[in-house]
Amino acid sequence: MSALGGKASGGEGINPTGSVVGIIILIVSIAATYALGFSIIPLIGIIIGGALIGFGVHFVPVGGAPAAMGQAPGIATGVAMLAAGAGLAGLFGGAWAYETTGGDFLVAIVGGAVGGGLMMAITSLMVNATYVFAMGIPAASGKVDKDPITGDTFPEYKSQGTEGHGLPFISFFGGVIGGLVAGLGGTLIYIELLNVYSTGLPVIMQADAAAIQPLAVSLAGIFAIGFFLVNAVLAAYNITGTIEGPHDPKFKRVPRAIIGCAVASAFCGFISMLLLFNTGM
Amino acid sequence: MEEIVLGIGITALAGALATVAGAAEDTESDIGSQGDPNSQVQLAPQMGYIHRIFNKAISGEPPAYGAWCVIGAGVAWALMQINYNPALAIILGSLIAIFVQGIYCTSGYLGRTASLAKFQQPVYIDIIKSLTPVTMAHAFVAIFCTVAMCYLMASALHHPFALPLLGLVWGIALGAAGSATGNPFYGKERQYQNQKFGAGVPISASGNIVRYAEAGQRSSLDNGWFTTKFAGPASGICFGLIVFLELWRTVLFESFAGGWGAIIMGVILILVFTFIDRWVEKWGRKTYGPYTKEETSS
């Protein structure tokens, strides 16, 4: 039992019944997409993107309210919101790169990943600068005694009555990796949706493709942000409160989040495709 | 060449706007007690500590600022579509956004404080009257700067996203950067000024926030005065760096190696920040030293 009221141990593992139901929903969503005459390749891209976002969120060290009092390590804000902030900064970069390179898929998704990673690197650095230079508190993890990367020891640097504080290097590293992965996933979803809308909207609206492009970009952007929040919130539920990064025992819960995010992304992806469904009206 | 020079100028201006936005956002959230430290403001009366601190955690800062910036950007965009001057449109958009923010502040304070009635926490009407306009003013600066920055990105740098979408993306990023950097300073250094400096707040002290000032009871305005000494500027630097470097690496290096130039520069920047972070961490450990001897704790 941790001092903050939650169990410090890892998760409860994968629920077989829930997972089977989820996988059925996933398959039905893909089958329904195919049955309505859409290509399933973009949907697969969306599912992978969603799973990447869920995976990435688990790397981000989030301490929530206890971190704001120096009672627990991590960044003092919510899991979903911080990951969304980083991922959306990545999405901004990825969408821009996709436009300027004339549709280079690889450059866009890697650009999105780097944008998310850069946002997290700057934010994590400023968090540590605040703890060290303004509050006089060195970084210490509450979950491990030694930093797996630098080998720094933590128990003697943990102030009395707290679970640790600040961002040890492993948490900084986790934050950057989380930003990279989440930015990559978000940009992947955006590009898949953009391709679908760019080709589908001119047909259904019987208009010139160039005239429809701003609408396609905006719709893909809004849906990508929506996917981001869906997956980030799902991952946050899996984390239940706070996580220190990849060294936290809660990180072992990640397979459950990947299944959940893939299922949610499949269903939401199907809904986003329905926008192009011609009912003949 | 001319386009690159213009791009660098726009990048610098956007970075400066972002810096001001970050500082104003954090100060607004500290005066209004919007972020995670508000858990203690809410908890204090339940532990028997009645206070006069504003209490309006409407939601996390990122979604709140996402909403306000998208309202500001959306209204500005709509006005520009009917040929309003962009500067006027952004000002009017930001004004409408802060009225929404003010409504949320008022209902947030009333609702949250009224829920503490059984712990004898009064609802102070003078707090609503005096502090809501202050948070609205700071929110105006934050929203105006963010929307103006987004306008530059859309019109001068030709980002494919429409202005309202940029407002949503950067509003959420603004809240994330501001709350991450500014919250510990407000939560630990200000609310728990009565605790030891250079150590985290012991969990047993939760709820025992500082409630008295040099004269009389502490007001949230005092919190804004205190946090502008570090948390506000630090949040501004954080958000300013994010915006500036994201634009800078794209504007200057996107044309190299078919777009890979911007990516390589981004990776180099991440590595630079990683080294600086490690230096800061080591400096903290060396300067402040351990709280206890290693052998006693292991």
What's the mean pLDDT when you consider all of chain B? Answer: 92
Task: Collect all residues of chain B within an 8 Å Cβ-Cβ radius of residue A222.
Answer: 165
Residue A126 and residue B238: Cβ atoms within 8 Å? yes
Q: Give the model's confidence band at A10: pLDDT under 50 very low, under 70 low, under 90 confident, else very high.
A: very low
CA triple A52-B260-B16, angle to 5 deg: 85
pLDDT confidence of residue B137: 96
Smallest CA–CA distance from A81 into chain B, residue: B62
Task: Decide if B40 and A69 are in contact by the 8 Å CB cutoff.
Answer: yes
Q: Calculate the CA A119 to chain-centre distance.
A: 13
> Which pTM value belongs to this model?
0.93
DSSP reduced 3-state for A81: helix
Q: Which of B95-104, B129-138, B157-166, B288-297 has the lowest mean pLDDT?
A: B288-297
Token pair in block for residue A69: 């009092």
Name which of A114-128, B200-214, B259-273 the model is least confident about: B200-214
CB contact, 8 Å: B285 with chain A? yes
CB B106 within 8 A of CB B128: yes
Residue B4, CA atoms < 13 Å, CB-side half-sphere: 8
Please check the confidence at residue A64 and state whether its pLDDT lies above 90. Answer: no
How far is residue B46's CA from residue B28's CA, in Å, rounded to a whole number? Answer: 25
ipTM: 0.94
pLDDT digits (tens, 9 = 90+) for A44-56: 999 999 999 999 9
Given this model, what pLDDT does residue A12 score?
A: 64
Name the B residues in 39-58 with CB < 8 Å from any A CB.
39-40
- B157: closest chain A residue by CA: A96
Nearest to B242 among A4, A89, A172 (CB): A89
* Residues in chain B within 8 Å Cβ distance of A84: 62, 172, 176
> For B37-83, what is each residue's pLDDT tens digit?
899 999 999 999 999 999 988 888 889 999 999 999 999 999 999 99
* Whole-number pLDDT of residue B298: 45
Q: Of B90, B62, B78, whose CA–CA distance to B146 is shortest?
A: B90
Could you tell me the two tokens for B293?
């001897």
pLDDT at B135: 95
Q: Which residue is associated with the tokens 């893939």?
A: A262
Residue that wins the pLDDT comparison between B271 and A37: B271
Q: In the structure, what pLDDT confidence band is assigned to residue A8 with cuts at 50, 70 and 90?
A: very low
- For residue A76, the model assigns a pLDDT of 86
Closest-CA distance, B25 to chain A, in angstroms, reads 14
Backbone angles phi, psi at A75, to 5 degrees: -90, 135
DSSP string, A223-273: HHHHHHHHHHHHHHHHHTS-B-STTSGGGGGHHHHHHHHHHHHHHHHHHHH
Res A215 pLDDT > 80: yes
Average pLDDT over residues A153-174: 91
- Answer whether residue A96 shows pLDDT above 50: yes
Segment A225-264, tens digit of pLDDT: 999 889 998 998 888 888 898 998 889 999 999 999 999 9
Q: Quickly list DSSP for chain B.
A: -HHHHHHHHHHHHHHHHHHHHHHHHHHHHHHTT-STTHHHHHHGGGGT----------S-HHHHHHHHHHHHHHHHHHHHHTT--HHHHHHHHHHHHHHHHHHHHHHHHHHHHHTTGGGTPPP-HHHHHHHHHHHHHHHHHHHHHHHHHHHHHHHTS--SS-HHHHHHHHHHHHHHHHHHHHHHIIIIIITTTTSPTTSPPPGGGTT----B-SSSB--HHHHHHHHTTTHHHHHHHHHHHHHHHHHHHHHHHTTGGGGHHHHHHHHHHHHHHHHHHHHHHHHHHHHH--SS-HHHH-
Least Cα distance to A182 among A247, A97, A117, A246 occurs for A117
DSSP assignment of B228-268 equals: TTTHHHHHHHHHHHHHHHHHHHHHHHTTGGGGHHHHHHHHH
Confidence band of A11 (pLDDT split at 50, 70, 90): low
Question: For residue A158, which residues of chain B lie inside 8 Å, CB to CB?
Answer: 291, 297
- Return the number of CB contacts < 8 Å for A and B: 310
Please tell me the predicted confidence (pLDDT) of residue A80.
75
Contact between B187 and A70 using a beta-carbon 8 Å cutoff: yes
Of the CA atoms within 13 Å of residue A202, those in its CB half-sphere come to 13
- C-beta of residue B268 within 8 angstroms of C-beta of residue B43: no
Does position B186 have pLDDT exceeding 50, yes or no? yes
Name the band, by pLDDT with cuts 50, 70 and 90, for residue B145: very high
Task: Average the pLDDT over A102-123 and give the result.
Answer: 92
DSSP 8-class letter at A159? P
Highest mean pLDDT among A61-70, A197-206, A267-276, B133-142: B133-142
Residues of chain B found within 8 Å of residue A68, distances taken between Cβ atoms: 35-37, 39, 183-184, 186-188
Which chain A residues are Cβ-neighbours of B203 within 8 angstroms?
Answer: 3-4, 66, 71, 161-163
Quote the pLDDT of residue B294. Answer: 60
